């Protein structure tokens, strides 16, 4: 019964052999990414990246901090209230030559008591490899002269950044300083003559940087693929252990807890997105996260979860019968979705694109629904398959990309589904059946590689896995309700 856990322990080690994990990306990788971005930037341009804001949960408690993916991709810094500035050409200032500057938040003495040291300027230099790192306050006290550049590139500024008195300078103040700087660029309409082409160009540009970053992030490096593969395989073990443990008396919350316990067991810091556990009709809500049904009964249970490992998120969905055996109708719908997914995965080859995969999966499902009499035309099939079939994964679970043809080392989901809510215009025997099967598939020159193949997908394989003993069979809670 411990086989699955044992395999992952051998591959990865559930307990680190030192104080910290040994597979964080090296500072040289982040530096090479910044250099790649610099090479793609227009002449005499500057790119500005802000750390993510701190989000308040309630009163004096904040949500667990999560870094902006672009900022993380280029720096490896997971602290808030920081700014990265990258220049297309080397700059000169006070006898120094540099092509990038990281402004890092420095925690005060009181904060360090509660929150620890943080990275700070020292850590930015020693751990992250930035030669030109300064306190965030310098971004305000010694502002960059943005007016001397032909193009100032940045991501559209969030409008919900809070002004907080606890951290100084905070992100609000840093953004305010930046906006003051770009607003001072001479009119008309923030345009000037390009120094090389002689054309009139827009100086303030909040569009181009997204395209440049998408071009970098949509192709995964070998180092990234190792982290993504680990996140995916951890997620698969969660699916397997739940298959073994599930019974009709379980709740959606308990099911979620088993998945997330496995994530933590193997070192995944977070979930990549809120966990979705939808039993029966709840599975028809695409992003159902209440997860509060107290008994699964004989329903199908749709489980869409992904471990996040060192910032990289998996996205794996399995749909299983709570009692271990598909009914006739459940199996018919499940196998139809499986056939659609198989067709989609087979087409995950260089040169195709997400629209092609989507159409292939839809063709299978629409024809199947029509043949079963659930729909009366192919056009009505979208009613029961209302979402897309593929998206990139990476630092975002819906990762940044330019929506072009597949290229080697892109990794995307393939996730067709059928959802038949109660009250649908079809035979009542189909009501409340919701099925999604989702796998994370790498595009290679030799064809698709399914990173999440570890978790059973075929209906027969799922039923067989659900007959196995579970480590959780020995886990008994005391009665907390005061009832005998």
145 contacts: CB under 8 Å, gap ≥ 6: 181
Give residue 366's pLDDT.
Answer: 97
308-356: pLDDT as tens digits: 999 999 999 999 999 999 999 999 999 999 999 999 999 999 999 999 9
Between 251 and 60, where is the model more confident?
Answer: 251
Asked if pLDDT for residue 396 goes beyond 50, the answer is yes
Q: If you compute the radius of gyration of the chain from its CA atoms, what whole number of angstroms results?
A: 25
- Other C-beta atoms closer than 10 Å to the C-beta of 74 total 23
pLDDT at 192: 58
Confidence of residue 189 (pLDDT cuts 50, 70, 90): low
pLDDT at 109: 87
- Residue whose token pair is 């995969």: 357
Q: Under the phi-then-psi rule, with left for phi > 0, alpha for psi from -120 to 50, and beta for the rest, what region is 36?
A: alpha
SS3 8: helix
Distances in whole angstroms, Cα of residue 197 to Cα of each of 192, 193, 194, 200, 429: 11, 8, 6, 9, 68
What's the rounded Cα separation, in Å, for the pair 362 and 417? 9
The better pLDDT of the pair 156, 406 is held by 406
- pLDDT score recorded for residue 473: 85
Helix or strand holding residue 260 (H, E): helix 252-265
- Residue-wise pLDDT for 148-167, tens only, equals 999 999 998 888 888 876 77
Residue 219 to residues 73, 144, 168, 330, 394: CA-CA distances in angstroms?
13, 32, 37, 38, 10
Q: Looking at residues 69-95, what average pLDDT do you find?
A: 95
185 forms beta bridges with: none
Contact 245, 470 (CB under 8 A): yes
pLDDT at 477: 67
Give the strands of the sheet with 312-313, arranged side by side.
270-271, 307-309, 312-313
Name the nearest CA neighbour of 25 among 310, 231, 314, 234.
310
Whole-number Å distance between alpha carbons of 463 and 289: 25
- What is the mean predicted confidence (pLDDT) over 100-124? 92
pLDDT of residue 1: 40
pLDDT tens digits, 425-439: 999 999 999 999 999
For 21-69, write each residue's pLDDT tens digit: 999 999 999 999 999 999 999 999 999 999 999 998 999 899 999 999 9
Tell me what the mean pLDDT of segment 71-78 comes to. 98
Residue 474: per-residue pLDDT: 81
What number is the average pLDDT over the span 94-110?
92
Q: What is the pLDDT of residue 184?
A: 81
Q: What is the pLDDT of residue 443?
A: 98
Q: Give the model confidence (pLDDT) of 197-225 as tens digits.
A: 666 556 899 999 999 999 999 999 999 99
pTM: 0.92
Q: Work out the angle at residue 295's Cα, subtended by the Cα atoms of residues 293 and 299, and round it to the nearest 5 degrees.
A: 90
| Residue 3 clears pLDDT 80, i.e. is over it | no
Specify the range with the lowest mean pLDDT, choosing from 4-13, 74-83, 409-418: 4-13
Show the tokens assigned to 205.
């540009």
Q: Which two tokens stand for residue 199?
A: 């054309």
Pair 82, 97: CB distance under 8 Å: no
| Max CA distance (Å), the chain | 84
Token pair for 428: 């009542």
CA distance 212 to 348: 24
Residue 32: which of 89, 73, 77, 68 has the closest Cα?
73
Residue 14 near residue 257, CB atoms below 8 Å: no
Query: What rounded mean pLDDT belongs to the chain?
Result: 92
> Would you put residue 268 in left (φ > 0), alpha (ψ -120 to 50) or beta?
beta
Instruction: Tell me the per-residue pLDDT of 274-296, one tens digit each, with 9 for 90 and over.
Output: 999 999 999 999 999 999 999 99
């Amino acid at each position: 019964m411990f086989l699955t856990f044992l395999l992952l322990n051998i591959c990865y080690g559930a307990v680190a052999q030192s104080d910290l994990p040994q597979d964080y990306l090296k500072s040289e990788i982040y530096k090479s990414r910044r250099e790649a971005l610099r090479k793609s930037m227009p002449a005499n341009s500057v790119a500005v990246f802000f750390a993510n804001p701190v989000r308040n949960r309630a009163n004096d408690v904040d949500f667990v901090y999560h870094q902006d993916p672009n900022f993380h991709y280029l720096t490896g810094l997971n602290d808030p209230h920081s700014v990265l500035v990258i220049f297309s050409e080397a700059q000169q200032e006070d006898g120094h030559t540099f092509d990038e500057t990281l402004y890092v938040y420095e925690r005060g003495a009181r904060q360090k008591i509660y929150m620890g040291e943080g990275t700070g300027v020292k850590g930015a230099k020693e751990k992250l490899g930035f030669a030109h790192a300064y306190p965030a306050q310098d971004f305000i006290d010694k502002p960059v002269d943005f007016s001397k550049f032909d193009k100032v590139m940045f991501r559209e500024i969030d409008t919900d950044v809070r002004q907080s008195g606890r951290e100084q300078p905070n992100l609000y103040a840093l953004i305010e300083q930046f906006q003051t700087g770009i607003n001072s660029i001479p009119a008309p309409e923030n345009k000037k003559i390009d120094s090389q082409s002689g054309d009139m160009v827009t100086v303030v540009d909040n569009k181009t940087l997204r395209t440049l970053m998408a071009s970098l992030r949509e192709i995964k490096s070998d180092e990234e693929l190792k982290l993504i593969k680990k996140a995916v395989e951890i997620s698969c073990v969660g699916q397997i252990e739940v298959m073994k443990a599930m019974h009709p008396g379980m709740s959606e919350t308990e099911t979620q807890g088993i998945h997330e316990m496995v994530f933590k067991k193997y070192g995944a810091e977070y979930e990549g997105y809120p966990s979705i556990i939808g039993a029966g009709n709840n599975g028809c809500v695409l992003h159902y996260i209440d997860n509060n049904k107290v008994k699964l009964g004989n329903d199908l249970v749709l489980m869409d979860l992904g471990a996040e490992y060192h910032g990289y998120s998996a996205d794996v969905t399995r749909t299983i019968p709570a009692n271990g055996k598909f009914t006739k109708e459940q199996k018919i719908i499940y196998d139809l979705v499986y056939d659609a997914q198989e067709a989609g995965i087979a087409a995950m080859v260089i040169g195709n694109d997400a629209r092609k995969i989507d159409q292939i999966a839809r063709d299978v499902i629409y024809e199947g629904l029509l043949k079963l009499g659930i729909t009366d035309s192919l056009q009505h099939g979208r009613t029961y398959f209302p979402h897309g079939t593929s998206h990139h994964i990476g630092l975002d679970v819906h990762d940044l990309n330019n929506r072009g043809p597949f290229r080697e080392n892109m990794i995307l989901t393939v996730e067709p589904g059928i959802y038949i809510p109660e009250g649908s215009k079809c035979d009542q025997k189909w009501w409340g059946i919701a099925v999604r099967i989702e796998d994370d598939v790498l595009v290679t020159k030799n064809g698709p590689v399914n990173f999440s193949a570890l978790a059973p997908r075929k209906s027969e394989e799922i039923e067989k896995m659900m007959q196995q003993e579970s480590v959780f069979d020995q886990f008994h809670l005391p009665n907390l309700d005061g009832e005998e």
